[in-house]
């Protein structure tokens, strides 16, 4: 298969983790005879520095003319501490989502057996967790009208949803549940918010079309508690933009590191793949950023094009790396010298030689490996 992939590394650790995903995709292309062509473009703080625009037209055009987008991270502390900044890196990502119509953000949350003890939660609570979060991505309070009074003392953000916006992501969530454990949990705040009541109404009306799927509801405050108390109860979580943002960072604790969580942002025409973590400015350039979320986002990209064997091989490589402690310091208590790029090397090498990896593991101990 030939794929044109737009690469938007963005800010902070974005470039270093994204280059590991590319390394892994190149190994896949070689093994499976695919042609993946990568073209890079700036987005976020770096694009503001270069072009005074967090999403230059040339970047948007590249995305629109590509088959898929691989996105790194966005954000810089100089904007976080300056509420008066009119141009902000995050605007680049939000505009990209809106312009490309990426309304469904899929965030899988999985507890890897080998990492159960890395989670701050108890092993028996996290063990077996397998959740697919469907976060609405182009509506709600993120995109409603924003106002700041002339005296600067009053502000508002409008939260708005239409039936159509709810239906299209709900249908996706129901379909996914049909191929999983057949349960959808709608997370909302229907006891308070009118938009949440609309979500409940629309989703309840759709449910009979998926008779094999059980639909249940949780208020977001309770859902936040249940996520920590008993995450295994969840199969597919369906929720609006802001609740999905918060719940998914919370869910990342289950896996042991936010550096593991990948995501796909899907629309009717375009698809973008990105780690859920941010730009982690303190870690930039230190080689300590975990590239697994970006590598697993590349696996989601392959799944999107139905390259399931290829995606599976990446996931097996990731699991192998976790098992052998070929991980960055956020997860590693055994080796202290495994860098971002070494994790990428290991997984790319596994893809080229899936049966050879134990030998490499021995070499790590001997300090002889050319790979590690």
Q: Is 273 within 8 Å of 298 (Cβ atoms)? A: yes
The vertex-285 CA angle with 281 and 289, nearest 5°, equals 70
Which residue number places its CB atom closest to ligand IPM?
90
Smallest distance, ligand IPM to C-beta of residue 357, A: 32
The number of beta carbons lying within 10 Å of the beta carbon of residue 144 is 16
The Cβ of residue 34 has, within 10 Å, a number of other Cβ atoms equal to 17
102 binding ligand IPM? (CB under 6 A): no
Does position 74 interact with ligand IPM (CB under 6 A)? The reply is yes
Pick the closer one to Mn ion by CB: 245 or 274. 245
Query: Catalytic annotation on 189?
Result: yes
Verify whether residue 164 is a known catalytic residue. no
235 is catalytic: no
Over its C-alpha atoms, the chain yields an Rg (Å, rounded) of 21
The conformation of residue 114, written as its DSSP 8-state character, comes to: G
Burial of 31 (0-12, 13-18, 19+ CB in 10 A): middle
Contact 21, 70 (CB under 8 A): yes
Judged by CB under 6 A, which of 16, 235, 240, 245 binds ligand IPM? 245
- The smaller minimum CB distance to Mn ion, of residues 206 and 238, is found at 238
User: Terminus-to-terminus CA distance in the chain, angstroms?
Assistant: 31
Q: Restricting to residues 339-368, name those near ligand IPM by CB under 6 A.
A: none
In the complex with ligand IPM, the residue whose CB is nearer, 218 or 276, is 276
Which of the following is catalytic: 67, 130, 249, 330? 249
Given 245, 274, 345, 349, the residue binding Mn ion (CB under 5 A): 245
The CB-of-117 to Mn ion minimum distance in angstroms stands at 26
Nearer to ligand IPM among residue 93 and residue 187 (C-beta): 93
Dist. CA 158–CA 251, nearest whole Å: 26
- Figure out which of the listed residues 31, 90, 167, 250 binds ligand IPM, where binding follows CB under 6 A: 90
Give yes or no for residue 276 binding ligand IPM (CB under 6 A): yes
339: left (phi over 0), alpha (psi -120 to 50) or beta: beta
26 a catalytic residue: no
Binding residues for ligand IPM, total number by CB under 6 A: 6
Tokens representing 152 are 């600067």
CB of 67 or CB of 250, closer to Mn ion: 250
Structure tokens at 370: 């050319």
42: helix, coil or strand?
A: coil
Binding site for Mn ion (CB under 5 A): 245
Catalytic residues: 142, 189, 221, 245, 249
Binding site for ligand IPM (CB under 6 A): 74-75, 90, 93, 245, 276
């Amino acid at each position: 298969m030939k794929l044109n992939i737009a690469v938007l590394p963005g800010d902070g650790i974005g470039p270093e983790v994204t280059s590991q995903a590319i390394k892994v995709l190149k190994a896949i292309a070689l093994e499976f005879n695919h042609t993946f062509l990568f073209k890079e473009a700036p987005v976020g703080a770096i694009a503001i520095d270069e072009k005074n625009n967090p999403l230059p037209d040339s970047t948007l055009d590249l995305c629109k003319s590509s088959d898929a987008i691989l996105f790194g991270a966005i954000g810089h502390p100089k904007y976080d501490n300056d509420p008066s900044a009119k141009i902000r890196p995050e605007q680049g990502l939000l505009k990209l989502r809106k312009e490309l119509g990426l309304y469904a953000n899929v965030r899988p949350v999985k507890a890897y057996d080998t990492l159960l003890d890395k989670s701050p939660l108890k092993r028996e609570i996290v063990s077996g967790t397998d959740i697919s979060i469907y976060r609405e991505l182009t509506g709600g309070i993120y995109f409603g009208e924003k106002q700041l009074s002339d005296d600067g003392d009053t502000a508002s953000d409008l939260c708005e949803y239409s039936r159509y916006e709810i239906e299209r992501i709900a249908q996706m969530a129901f379909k996914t549940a049909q191929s999983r454990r057949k349960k959808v949990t709608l997370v909302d705040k229907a006891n308070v918010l009118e938009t949440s009541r609309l979500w409940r109404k629309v989703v309840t009306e759709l449910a009979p079309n998926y008779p094999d799927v059980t639909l249940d509801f949780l208020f977001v405050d309770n859902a936040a508690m249940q996520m920590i108390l008993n995450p295994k109860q969840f199969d597919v979580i369906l929720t609006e933009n802001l609740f999905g943002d918060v719940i998914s960072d919370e869910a990342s604790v289950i896996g042991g590191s936010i550096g593991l969580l990948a995501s796909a942002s899907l629309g009717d025409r375009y698809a973008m793949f990105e780690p859920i973590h941010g730009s982690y400015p303190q870690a930039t350039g230190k080689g300590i950023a975990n590239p697994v979320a970006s590598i697993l986002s590349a696996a989601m990209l392959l799944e999107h094009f139905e390259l399931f064997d290829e995606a599976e091989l990446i996931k097996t490589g990731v699991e192998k790396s976790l098992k052998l402690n070929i991980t960055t310091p956020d997860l590693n208590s055994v080796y202290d010298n495994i860098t971002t790029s070494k994790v990428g090397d290991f997984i790319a090498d596994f893809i080229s030689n899936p049966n050879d990896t134990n030998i490499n593991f021995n070499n790590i101990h001997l300090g002889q490996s050319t790979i590690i």
